[in-house]
Chain A
Amino acid sequence: MGVPWRAVLWRAVGGLIVLWAAATATFFAIRAVPGDPAQAVLGGPGSQAGPEALAQVRAEYGFDQPLWMQYLRTLGRLASGELGTSYSLHRPVAAVIGEQLGGTLLLAVLALLVAWVLALAWLLATTRTRGPWNTLGSGVELVAAALPEFWLAAVLIVVFSSTLHWLPGLSDNTAGGLALPVLALAIPLAGFLAQTMRGSMMDSLTAPYSLSARARGERSTGLRLRHSIRHAAAPGIALSGWAFGYLIGGSVVIETIFARPGLGRTLYNAVTIRDVPLVTGIVLVSAAAYVLVTVLAEIVGGLVDPRPGRAAA
């Protein structure tokens, strides 16, 4: 089962179309704000923008030109990786994002990995064909998935930081500093992943090939590790694009709570002072990341799924 390059190419083209549409949507959303568009870019009607700043924004965005010219200009600038200037930080948006992206990616990738490990370990431990384990297993998943990450973060801080003093309540890039924010993001996600995969894991355990594997003398654990897990993983991997989006969105809350530098906290600060260029830039970059991860997840899903003819279909 090699990589089906033609299907991958088509998915990539589809992803580019989605990105173009997303950029178009943000362009027209900004222009749909009533009043002076330059004022809207500089923080809305209540902002203290001076006349020079307004004139500079008008020139940069070409607000005196016809709408279609502005649109083409915006698309052209986006295509060359230019995201405009943040008026609150007085720096190019692309540079700010480049600086902050690493910390958030580290957080998101670690949380995704931890969530997968937790979900798979939990499934391997609690999926049985009969008995009370399944009920307990799915009950815990349900509760985990229902936990709002901002509340879970607060509870984790109370328990592990201010009561037990095991881990710091503020986050940095050390293992100890990452533990709490990663867990706060990973636990609800693990609940979602396990919920999604439990059904296919159960189906796989009672499938004919599992019975024949057991008849060949395969032990229960071996069956789970060698056969069921691959079947179970397919719907979970399909969810990974969504999961990554959830993590990027969750990083806004988590980075703010743990006073951790990153894209999410930058976005939060930009939203509170209504720095539209910076907000737009971060939203578009995260949309691009989402599209990329979704395409990757489809390719990986096709490779992992043992059923024939499923490769990136």
Chain B
Amino acid sequence: MTNLALLASRPAERPRRRLDPVALLACAFLVFLLLCALAPGLVSGRDPLAIAPAEAFSPPSPAHWFGTDESGRDIFSRLVWGARDSLLIGVSATAIGVGLGLVLGVLAALAGKIADVVTSRAIEVLLAFPGLMLALFLIALYGPGVGTAILSVGLSTAPGYARIIRTRLRTVASSGYAETARILGHHPLRVLLRTILPNAIAPILGIATLGIGQAIVWAAALSYLGLGVKPPAPEWGAMLAAARTYITSAWWMTLFPGLFIVLTVLATTLAPRLLARWGARA
């Protein structure tokens, strides 16, 4: 009784109707990155590979916003042109991860008890190769490269997605409307495709957006170690690796590529909030 009274006295959380400015900024940055990836020439007119030895190691200035590297290449333009590689790796790795996670999650949640036990164990096995371990193992076997990086980052993220998808699907599958669809005698496949998946997909998409940021960081880590995209390609991780030699003399070579990675991760983390709010309103 007293507990109920206490609970009732808690202020109810009111849904906020204002647009979240932070989430809006995050979306704006993602749009900017997308523009960089699709039409880098529009954002920066400079050639990211053009060497100008006379301008090597210029600190940030109006001419070179983020300074230049050891060959005099403009760092801002390299970051802009590098967005394509980073986004491509991030999106394709996440697509592999979510795709595999979806298969495992659907099997675990809806294909019966035995399938659940087996797939849940499979998920645990994938989880036992934490982070970069799986990627490094596959690279040792098949050699370094962008393809191996995408595949291995996708595989390492799949178990996380599978777990979330499994939980989400179970919640939807045990809901009243899914039950109704089943009682109406619809085919199980129809219930899955028309009722359960559409209702479970929105939060999964939000998590996938978040995962793109994580995938970009892992891919950058591989490139940083020299096992992903190779220099002189303007990939962010590879740029950071090249900056290591000049870390004491040319700090801008280290600072700005890292900032781009951090901003990308923050944007992919915060943007889903805006999407979720739109989803809630619709």
Contact = CB atoms under 8 A, between A and B. Distances in A.
Interface in A141-193: 142-143, 146-148, 150-151, 154-155, 157-158, 162
A276 B137 CA distance: 8
A33 interface: yes
Interface of A: 14, 17-19, 21-22, 25-26, 29-30, 33, 40, 44, 142-143, 146-148, 150-151, 154-155, 157-158, 162, 206, 208, 211, 242, 244-246, 248-250, 252-253, 256-257, 267-268, 270-272, 274-276, 279-280, 283, 286-287, 290-291
A26 B141 CA distance: 10
B6 A287 contact: no
A208 B121 contact: no
Interface of B: 2-3, 6-7, 10, 121-122, 124-125, 127-134, 136-143, 213, 217, 220-221, 224-227, 237, 240, 243-244, 247-248, 251, 254-255, 257-258, 261-262, 265-266, 269-270
Nearest to A278: B140
A25 B128 CA distance: 11
Given A22-B128, A25-B125, A146 B254 contact: no
Contacts of A253: 132, 221, 224-225
Given A158-B254, A268-B225, A148 B217 contact: yes
B25 to A, nearest CB: 13
B138 A29 contact: yes
Given A154-B244, A287-B129, 14 more contacts: A14-B124, A18-B124, A21-B125, A29-B141, A151-B258, A151-B261, A154-B247, A155-B255, A208-B3, A249-B130, A271-B139, A274-B143, A279-B137, A283-B136
A246 B258 contact: no
A21 B258 contact: no
Contacts of A271: 136, 139-140, 227
A74 to B, nearest CB: 15
B262 A143 contact: yes
A57 B139 CA distance: 21
Contacts of B6: 208, 211
A290 B221 contact: no
B269 A256 contact: no
